C-alpha cells in the first residue's frame, strides 16, 4: 500500500515537472521563432497540458473540453497569437485538427470535431493581370462559427465565412463551401443537405 502511494506521489511530481518544461519550451520558441515557433510546440504538447497553454497565449476556452494532440494552429498572430480561437464548454477536438487563425473561429458548447478536420478563415486568390505570367495575389477572409451541439466527422474541410447551424452534422470527408442550416445532416464534396435531423 505504501509503495502504491509513493508511486502516485512520484507521478504527480513528474507531471508538475513536465508541465514546467512545456511552459519553458513554449516561451523559448515564441521568443526565438515567433508565433509560428510557438504553434509548432503546441502541436506536440500532450492533451493534459494543451488547453492551459492555449489559454496562456490568448485563446478563450470553456470548461470540460478535451483536445487531442497534434492541433495545427495556422497563422497565429500578434502578442496573443491564439486570440482568434473562441471555444465554449464541453468541446472535443480530434487529432491533427488544423485551425486557421487569420480570423475568428468560434466553436460553441457541446461540439465534436473529429480527427484531421480543417477550418479555414482565409483563402488565397491568384489572378492573371495580363493573361500571361503576371499574377496578382489577393486573400478573402471570413469568421467561421460552429453552433452548439454540432458534430463534424473526420476529414471535413470548412471554408472561410461559414456558419454550421445548431445541432447539425457534417459527414466524414466533406468539403463545406456554404452555410449549413440547423438540425440537418450534410455530406459530400461540395457538402449538400442529405436529410433533416
Model confidence pLDDT, tens digit, residues 74-120: 999 888 999 999 999 999 999 999 999 999 999 999 999 999 999 99
Confidence check: pLDDT of 127 > 70: yes
* Lowest-confidence segment of 6-10, 13-17, 141-145, 149-153 by average pLDDT: 6-10
Residue range 143-154: average pLDDT?
98
Q: How many helices (H) and strands (E) does the chain have?
A: 3, 19
Mean pLDDT, the chain, rounded, equals 94
Cα angle, residue 105 at apex, residues 60 and 169 outer, rounded to 5°: 115
Residue range 146-158: average pLDDT?
98
What's the pLDDT score for residue 120? 98
Higher pLDDT, 127 or 56: 56
Confidence band for 13, pLDDT divided at 50, 70 and 90: very high
Helix (H) or strand (E) holding 98: strand 98-100
Percent of the chain with pLDDT over 90: 83
Q: Known catalytic residue: 160?
A: no
Confidence band for 134, pLDDT divided at 50, 70 and 90: confident
Q: How far is CA 154 from CA 112, 117, 161, 168, in A?
A: 10, 6, 20, 15
Catalytic residue among 33, 74, 95, 122: 122
Query: Alpha-carbon distance 164 to 119, whole Å?
Result: 11
Determine contact, residues 169/186, Cβ cutoff 8 Å: yes
Amino acid at each position: 500500500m505504501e509503495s502504491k502511494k509513493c508511486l502516485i506521489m512520484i507521478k504527480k511530481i513528474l507531471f508538475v515537472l513536465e508541465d514546467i518544461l512545456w511552459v519553458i519550451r513554449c516561451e523559448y520558441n515564441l521568443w526565438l521563432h515567433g508565433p509560428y515557433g510557438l504553434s509548432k510546440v503546441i502541436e506536440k504538447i500532450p492533451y493534459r497540458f494543451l488547453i492551459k497553454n492555449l489559454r496562456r497565449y490568448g485563446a478563450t476556452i470553456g470548461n470540460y473540453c478535451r483536445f487531442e494532440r497534434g492541433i495545427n494552429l495556422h497563422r497565429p498572430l500578434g502578442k496573443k497569437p491564439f486570440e482568434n480561437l473562441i471555444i465554449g464548454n464541453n468541446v472535443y477536438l480530434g487529432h491533427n485538427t488544423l485551425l486557421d487563425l487569420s480570423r475568428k473561429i468560434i466553436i460553441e458548447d457541446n461540439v465534436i470535431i473529429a480527427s484531421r478536420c480543417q477550418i479555414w478563415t482565409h483563402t488565397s486568390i491568384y489572378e492573371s493581370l495580363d493573361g500571361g505570367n503576371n499574377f496578382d495575389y489577393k486573400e478573402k477572409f471570413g469568421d467561421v462559427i460552429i453552433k452548439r451541439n454540432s458534430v463534424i466527422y473526420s476529414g471535413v474541410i470548412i471554408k472561410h465565412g461559414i456558419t454550421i447551424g445548431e445541432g447539425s452534422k457534417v459527414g466524414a470527408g466533406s468539403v463545406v463551401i456554404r452555410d449549413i442550416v440547423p438540425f440537418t445532416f450534410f455530406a459530400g464534396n461540395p457538402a449538400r443537405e442529405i436529410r433533416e435531423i
